[in-house]
């Protein structure tokens, strides 16, 4: 397209214009926000002023209780990702390697994948109690499906010649897994974990907002209950930074794995 | 998956359903033998027996319609605003270059966790639920619309230019039809996302349709009822998912 030629001809001017545009957009949003906060059109504190939110953010970051709750949530998510991820990888590898089993069982996983997982929370409470167990279970249940599906799909895309090489060396199933399948699957596994992490965060935190007395989700719903809007904004900002940051980190890993292979 | 002999497909289907049935029978037996606590897991037969009761007593039809209405509103917003923003970003290239990575980052953000914020802004109402469903599903719709428009084959656009089409004609007659299959992939993703979040938020804020049904039955400690309601909602989402797939397959040969 014509536009692309312009970009390659003068990349510096183009990127600088985009950078200015970005700054303008952010500034525009912040100014509009501040104007809305000072206009008094909305109920007090629904749109708190930027200074209030910043102050609340600073207060939150200096609060040891915040880090205690953050630790609870992060460890719940880590265990959930471990449980759901390992089960998902194993199930995905088995289904990907055996077309017959995939035909028999994959439809269940494929169609249960896009259902709302949080509605299973009442069952998880009965099975694992009201503490961290039920939140971990929610996170694990949520992230199992996308991981299993993406691993199974990745297995089927392994180059057949790699599998044939393994077979011709008479590799045992365990050797096939560790020497052929897993190395060839690095990219799909990282991608699956990235998908799974995002969903595990949602599953765990939603469960915390529903019923808990610890964790980031609890802090958010608590801020709602006492109508501490600046604190809620501060919590949501931190949560988004953590989630987007973790996602970008794994995305970078995936990029490196792809380059390593290519 | 490659196409296999019908016999193998049948055998696989039988194995899948058979395993499910075996597991259910085993659970039934374990509960009757009180190896599994019947106050934690109800008898599968009791869950099945509870389904007609739930339908008769809990006004499931009305709840289903409530959830469907919320989903329809969220979908309408997604179609108009999601595709609209996608088209606008395609039109203004610099804005797209400035914001595309932000939108992609938002697609990975746990937007549904903003629901307490939406509660404050819109109250405990259907509007909150619709807005959460809409906002959470917005990034994939925008990104896929952009992808479709960007991916329109240059030769088609050149044909349009050589016919001296105006920008408007070029968009309606060439760009949009070429992008439609990809746009629909985004809409399908978006609608499924919206439905998941709508039912989820209904459950969380105990308001509205099918999600609230589960919450109420769980709070009443109606064990077979809770399981039956979850089964029903899962069934509804699976059917919705299958329907979207069918529509997408039907749309694809059009391009």
Write the CATH number for A61: 1.10.3720.10
- CA dist., res. B240 & res. B246, Å (int): 10
- Beta-carbon separation of A114 and B241 below 8 A: yes
Mean pLDDT value across chain A: 87
Following DSSP, what letter does each residue of B217-234 receive, concatenated?
HHHTT-HHHHHHHHHHHH
Range(s) of the domain holding residue A34: 12-39
Contact criterion met (CB below 8 Å) for B62 and B210: no
> Do A124 and A235 share a domain, yes or no?
yes
A95 at the B interface (CB within 8 A)? no
Instruction: Report how many domains make up chain A.
Output: 2
Q: How many alpha carbons lie under 13 Å from residue B108 in its C-beta half-sphere?
A: 23
Interface with A, mutate which of B16, B105, B113, B115 (most A CBs under 10 A): B113
> Do A57 and A33 lie in a common domain?
no
Please determine, for residue A233, whether its predicted confidence score (pLDDT) is greater than 90.
yes
| Predicted local distance difference test score (pLDDT) of residue A11 | 54
Same domain as A126, residue A83: yes
A94: contact with B, CB 8 A cutoff: no
Within a domain: A165: no
Residues of B in contact with A126 (CB under 8 A): 40-41, 223
pTM above threshold 0.80: yes
Q: Within this chain, do residues A80 and A145 fall inside the same structural domain, yes or no?
A: yes
Residue A221 touches partner B, C-beta closer than 8 Å: yes
The answer to whether B6 contacts chain A (CB < 8 Å) is no
Per-residue pLDDT, A30: 93
Contact B110 A205 (CB under 8 A): yes
Q: Are residues A30 and A101 in the same domain?
A: no
Q: Output phi, psi for A26, to 5 deg.
A: -60, -45
CB neighbour list of residue B221: distance below 8 Å, 6 or more residues apart: none
Q: Look at residue B254 in the predicted model and tell me its pLDDT.
A: 55
Average pLDDT across chain B, whole number? 89
- Who contacts B42 (Cβ-Cβ below 8 Å, separation ≥6)? B31, B223, B224, B227
Q: Give the pLDDT confidence score for residue A13 in this predicted structure.
A: 67
Chain A: nearest CA to B200, how far in angstroms? 6
**Whole-angstrom Cα Rg for chain B:** 23
Query: By the 8 A CB rule, do A141 and A85 touch?
Result: no
* Span B102-122, pLDDT tens digits: 998 888 889 999 999 999 888
Query: Out of B13, B99, B238, whose CB is closest to A111?
Result: B238
Q: Answer whether residue A172 is part of any domain.
A: no
Per-residue model confidence as pLDDT tens digits over A140-196: 999 999 999 999 998 888 888 888 888 898 888 888 888 888 888 888 888 888 889
Q: What is the pLDDT of residues A84-116, one digit of tens each?
A: 999 999 999 899 888 888 988 998 999 888 889
Cα separation, A34 vs A47, in Å, equals 8
In this structure, the answer to whether residues A211 and A241 fall within a common structural domain is yes
Residue A229 lies in a domain: yes
**Same structural domain for residues A114 and A232?**
yes
Q: For position A4, what pLDDT does the model report?
A: 43
Buried b (16+ CB within 10 A) or exposed e, A145-166: bbbbbbbbbbbeebeeeebeeb
Residues in A touching B224 (Cβ below 8 Å): none
Name the DSSP letter for residue B175. I
With respect to residue A5, please indicate whether it lies within any of the assigned structural domains. Answer: no
CA-nearest of B225, B27, B146 to A123 is: B225
What average pLDDT does this structure show over B129-153? 93
Say if residue A62 is in the same domain as residue A116.
yes
* b/e burial code for range A92-112 (CB count within 10 A of at least 16 → b): bbbbbbebebbbbbbeebbbb
Q: Is residue A66 part of a domain?
A: yes
Determine whether A18 is exposed, middle or buried from the number of CB atoms within 10 Å of its CB (0-12, 13-18, 19+): middle
Q: Is A120 on the interface with B (CB under 8 A)?
A: yes
């Amino acid at each position: 397209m014509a536009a692309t030629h312009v970009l390659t001809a003068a990349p510096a001017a183009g990127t600088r214009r985009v950078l200015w545009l970005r700054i303008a957009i952010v500034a525009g949003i912040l100014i509009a926000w501040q104007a809305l906060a000072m206009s008094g059109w909305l109920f007090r504190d629904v749109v708190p002023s930027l200074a209030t939110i910043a102050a609340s953010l600073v207060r939150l970051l200096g609060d040891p209780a915040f880090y205690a709750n953050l630790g609870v949530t992060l460890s719940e998510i880590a265990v959930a990702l471990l449980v759901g991820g390992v089960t998902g990888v194993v199930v995905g590898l088995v289904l990907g390697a055996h077309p017959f089993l995939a035909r028999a069982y994959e439809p269940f996983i494929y169609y249960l994948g896009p259902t709302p997982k949080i509605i299973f929370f009442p069952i998880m409470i009965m099975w694992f109690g009201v503490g961290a167990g039920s939140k971990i279970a929610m996170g694990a249940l949520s992230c199992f499906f996308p991981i299993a599906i993406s691993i199974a799909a990745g297995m089927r895309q392994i180059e057949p010649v790699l599998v044939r090489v393994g077979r011709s060396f008479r590799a045992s199933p365990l050797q096939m897994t560790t020497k052929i399948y897993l190395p060839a699957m690095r990219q799909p596994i990282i991608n699956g974990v990235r998908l799974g992490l995002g969903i595990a965060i949602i599953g765990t935190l939603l469960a915390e907002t529903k019923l808990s007395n610890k964790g980031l989700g609890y802090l958010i719903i608590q801020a709602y209950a006492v109508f501490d809007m600046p604190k809620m904004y501060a919590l949501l900002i931190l949560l988004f930074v953590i989630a987007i940051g973790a996602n970008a980190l794994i995305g970078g890993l995936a990029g490196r794995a792809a380059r390593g292979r290519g | 998956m490659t196409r296999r002999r019908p016999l193998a497909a049948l055998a696989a289907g039988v194995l899948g359903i058979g395993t499910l049935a075996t597991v259910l029978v085993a659970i039934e037996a374990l509960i009757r033998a009180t190896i599994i606590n019947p106050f934690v897991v109800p008898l599968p037969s009791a869950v099945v027996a509870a389904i007609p009761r739930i339908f008769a007593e809990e006004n499931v039809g009305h709840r289903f319609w409530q959830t469907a209405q919320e989903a329809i509103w969220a979908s309408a917003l997604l179609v108009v605003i999601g595709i609209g923003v996608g088209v606008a970003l395609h039109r203004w290239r610099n804005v797209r270059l400035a914001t595309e990575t932000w939108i992609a980052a938002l697609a990975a953000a746990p937007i549904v966790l903003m629901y307490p914020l939406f509660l404050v802004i819109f109250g405990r109402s259907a509007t909150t639920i619709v807005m959460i469903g809409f906002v959470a599903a917005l990034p994939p719709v925008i990104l896929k619309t952009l992808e479709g428009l960007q991916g329109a084959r240059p030769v088609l656009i050149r044909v349009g230019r050589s016919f001296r089409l105006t920008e408007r004609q070029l968009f309606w007659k060439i760009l949009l039809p070429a992008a439609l299959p990809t746009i629909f992939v985004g809409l399908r993703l978006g609608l499924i996302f919206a439905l998941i979040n709508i039912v989820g938020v209904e459950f969380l804020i105990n308001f509205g349709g099918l999600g609230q049904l589960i919450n109420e039955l769980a709070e009443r400690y109606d064990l077979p009822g809770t399981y039956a309601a979850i089964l029903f909602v899962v069934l509804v989402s699976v059917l919705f998912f299958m329907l979207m797939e069918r529509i997408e397959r039907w749309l694809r040969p059009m391009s």
